[in-house]
A and B are shown apart, each in its own frame.
Chain A
Amino acid sequence: MTTRREAIKTAARLLVLTPAAVAYFERPTSADAPAESKYDMAKHWWAMSIDIEKCIGCGNCVRGCANENAVPRGYFRTWVERYQAPAYPDEDHPEVDSPDGAFNGFPEKKKDNAKSFFVPKLCNQCAHSPCVQVCPVGATFETPDGLVLVDQTYCLGCRYCVQACPYGCRYIHPEKQTVDKCTFCYHRISKGLVTACVEVCPTGARTLADLKDPKDPIHAFLRDNPVQVLKPHMATGAKVYYKSLDESVR
């Protein structure tokens, strides 16, 4: 096979075919593709599962994310919220806080007779992203493997996407003056690692998932648990799935 192709190639050169024809014969085939492009976007569809009952609000994810991605202090690609939903008649007024995005965890704050829990948040990597929809230039985009990313060299800093994100996941990087957000640690997951927040989460509250992988535990997770996404009425196609998400969470 190879020898035959080799022969055709030489013949083509000898026959002084047009450069286009030579290029055609010399086009890269999958066999001789360079090693670093092993990551195949078509084979992945990234998502995340979050089990609220496991989150201990330690803030490891927030610090881990900031370390991994050089997130400027005061801005957050991921953060943790504490909900304290009181009983009737105040059930409509949950008390929520996130001191410094939970960078240093949460100081104890007792609230009697309240349902209390932590909610980790990050970009939902929406499949129908409102933020991508409004970007005027194609600086933020949906990738074939299901992520929403930002091209830092192309962003104008118009902030329209920040307004369009229903979840508050975007910020303007104070030095770069471009928009910044969670990338699901694309530089890690494309090398076979998990995201930094998942790596350092001590309780397994967060799990990175690949929906295109039939063996991924996400399928059992989605099948066996009642699961919800944030603000489902926004119809954003959010791909961060929460187990045990309380009604009071916004």
Chain B
Amino acid sequence: MKEAVHLVRLAALFAAGFVAFLVIRQMVVPAGFGKYGHFRAGALDDIRARPISYAGHGTCEACHDDQHNVLAKGKHAQVSCEACHGPQNRHAEEPDKVKPVLPDTRVLCASCHESNSAKPKKFPQVVASDHSGGEPCKSCHVPHNPKLSTEKGQ
């Protein structure tokens, strides 16, 4: 054994390193790691806590049942409010402070209805420049119920 003292010392050095590693590991690994799997359980709450920008059409309908009723009767019934109005969660939370900017129908309507050969054939499409000649779509159609405005009275 005397002849191998240096080896024992080397082994002790390695052992000390290993113990130090275990101690550090105990201290540094975040709490909750491994609770649901090989990850930090708190990450789930972190991700769930992110802020929302789209309130969802259910929220809009609670205050805007006028628009909702119009919408529900027309061809846009399945289009949700924020598909046209953009993210409005801040408006829904503070309607007096945050007022939505109304969309420009020339741009908005074309983004869905501009004709494109890859679109499903049964989807109603127009070549906007021919169809309206640069006029805003809303001058003939009602956005919430896209039938022609002239039909309204009928």
Contact = CB atoms under 8 A, between A and B. Distances in A.
- Are A and B in direct contact (Cβ within 8 Å)? yes
Interface of A: 39, 41, 53-60, 64, 67-69, 82-84, 105-106, 108-111, 116-118, 138-144, 149, 151-154, 183, 186-188, 190-191, 193-194, 196, 199-204
A57 B86 contact: no
Interface stretch (B6-14, B50-58, B94-102): B50-58
Contact residues of B: prevailing secondary structure: loop
Contact residues of A: prevailing secondary structure: loop
A166 to B, nearest CB: 22
A204 B114 CA distance: 18
* 5 nearest A-B pairs in the assembled complex, by CB-CB distance: A141-B39, A151-B43, A116-B118, A187-B50, A138-B38
A153 B54 contact: no
B85 to A, nearest CB: 10
A138 B116 contact: no
Contact of B123 (A56, A142, A204): A56
Given A116-B117, A138-B38, A149 B47 contact: yes
A196 B119 contact: no
Interface string B37-52: 1111001101111111
Nearest to B38: A138
Contact of B112 (A153, A187, A202): A202
Contacts of B36: 41, 143-144
B33 A193 contact: no
Residue among A105, A143, A151, A154 with most chain B CB within 10 A: A151
